[in-house]
């Protein structure tokens, strides 16, 4: 992001379209389709935004749905709704209620999500905190501190569908790991707490392993320091 570029604000009210470009603040109230790349400092949306190229932005505040065909690069994301990235996603700080769907890798420093997440590649965050509100998955999960649990609100609102509030991955690897209602081939970490409702093929741990009585770990292995 080049700070020397002259940037103007863009405000969209109602249903409209734009070729995209470089902006200061973009505010959408309604629906807007950008046919090219969008580079802006802030994106504030209430409604639906579609970007047919890449999205580069400092701050995203959303209430609604944002669908990006290309890659998303941002510093922060706040709000409620659904974010879809077709070419990978990198956001330093995420706090969202809703859903994230990424084709490719999803990377963050801190990612706090209450809702549903689907990542076809690597889900990586130094601090990952997921409160599941439905079926979630990623191929690989990596990070420092990893917490995956069911949303208490979701379990109360949808008691008959609580079994669908689960997470599935091939590999989960981190320093501190706490899992609930998770299915995985391999979990590898320093301190690993396997809470209720998990089915894990292999857990490799260095310091600590706790397994809830309702969960299954077929092959626990303590790694040498």
Question: Average pLDDT, stretch 33-58?
Answer: 98
Q: What angle do CA 6, 77, 20 make, to 5 degrees?
A: 40
Could you say which of 81, 104, 127 is where a domain stops?
104
Domain span at residue 22 reads 1-104
Binned at pLDDT 50, 70 and 90, residue 161 comes out as: low
Rounded CA-CA distance 43/17 in Å is: 15
Q: Are residues 84 and 133 in the same domain?
A: no
Q: Are residues 85 and 120 in the same domain?
A: no
SS3 content of the chain, % helix, strand, coil (to 5): 5, 75, 20
Rounded CA-CA distance 85/76 in Å is: 15
Beta-sheet pairing, 106-132 with 89-102: parallel
Q: Are residues 152 and 53 in the same domain?
A: no
Strand arrangement of the beta sheet that strand 8-18 belongs to: 8-18, 21-34, 38-51, 55-68, 72-85, 89-102, 106-132, 136-150, 167-179, 182-194, 199-211, 216-222
Q: Are residues 161 and 215 in the same domain?
A: yes
Q: Are residues 176 and 86 in the same domain?
A: no
Is the pLDDT at 156 greater than 80? The verdict is: no
- In the numeric block, the tokens 């996603």 are attached to 89
Binned at pLDDT 50, 70 and 90, residue 129 comes out as: very high
* Beta-bridge partner residues of 204: 188, 221
User: CA 1 from chain center: how many Å?
Assistant: 23
Residues 6+ apart with CB under 8 A from 214: 196, 197
Q: Are residues 69 and 19 in the same domain?
A: yes
Could you say which of 79, 104, 129 is where a domain stops?
104
Is the pLDDT at 4 greater than 70? The verdict is: no
Could you say which of 104, 127, 153 is where a domain stops?
104
Look at residue 166 and give its three-state secondary structure.
coil
Residues 6+ apart with CB under 8 A from 2: none
Q: Are residues 75 and 137 in the same domain?
A: no
DSSP 87: S
Q: Are residues 22 and 57 in the same domain?
A: yes
Q: How many domains does the chain have?
A: 2
Rounded CA-CA distance 49/29 in Å is: 9
pLDDT at 159: 57
Question: Average pLDDT, stretch 160-186?
Answer: 92
Rounded CA-CA distance 50/163 in Å is: 33
Q: Where are the beta strands (DSSP E) in 52-198?
A: 55-68, 72-85, 89-102, 106-132, 136-150, 167-179, 182-194
Residues 6+ apart with CB under 8 A from 224: none
Binned at pLDDT 50, 70 and 90, residue 152 comes out as: confident
pTM for this one?
Answer: 0.94
């Amino acid at each position: 992001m080049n700070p020397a570029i002259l940037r103007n604000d863009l405000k969209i009210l109602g249903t409209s379209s734009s070729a995209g470009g470089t902006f200061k603040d973009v505010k959408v109230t309604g629906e807007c389709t950008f046919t090219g790349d969008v580079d802006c400092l802030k994106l504030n949306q209430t409604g639906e935004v579609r970007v047919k190229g890449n999205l580069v932005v400092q701050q995203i505040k959303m209430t609604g749905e944002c669908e990006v065909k290309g890659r998303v690069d941002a510093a922060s994301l706040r709000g409620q709704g659904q974010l879809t990235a077709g070419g990978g996603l990198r956001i330093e700080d995420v706090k969202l209620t809703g859903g994230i769907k990424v084709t490719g890798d999803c990377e963050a420093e801190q990612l706090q999500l209450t809702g549903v997440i689907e990542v076809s590649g690597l889900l990586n965050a130094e601090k990952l905190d997921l409160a599941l509100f439905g079926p979630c998955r990623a191929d690989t999960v990596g990070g420092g501190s990893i917490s995956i649990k069911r949303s208490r609100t979701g379990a109360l609102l949808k008691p008959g569908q609580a079994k669908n509030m689960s997470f599935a991955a091939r590999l989960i690897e981190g320093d501190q790991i706490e899992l609930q209602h998770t299915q995985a081939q391999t979990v590898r970490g320093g301190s690993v707490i396997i809470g209720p409702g998990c089915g894990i093929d292999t857990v490799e741990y260095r310091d600590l392993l706790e397994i809830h009585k309702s969960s299954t770990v077929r092959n626990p292995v303590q790694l040498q320091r």
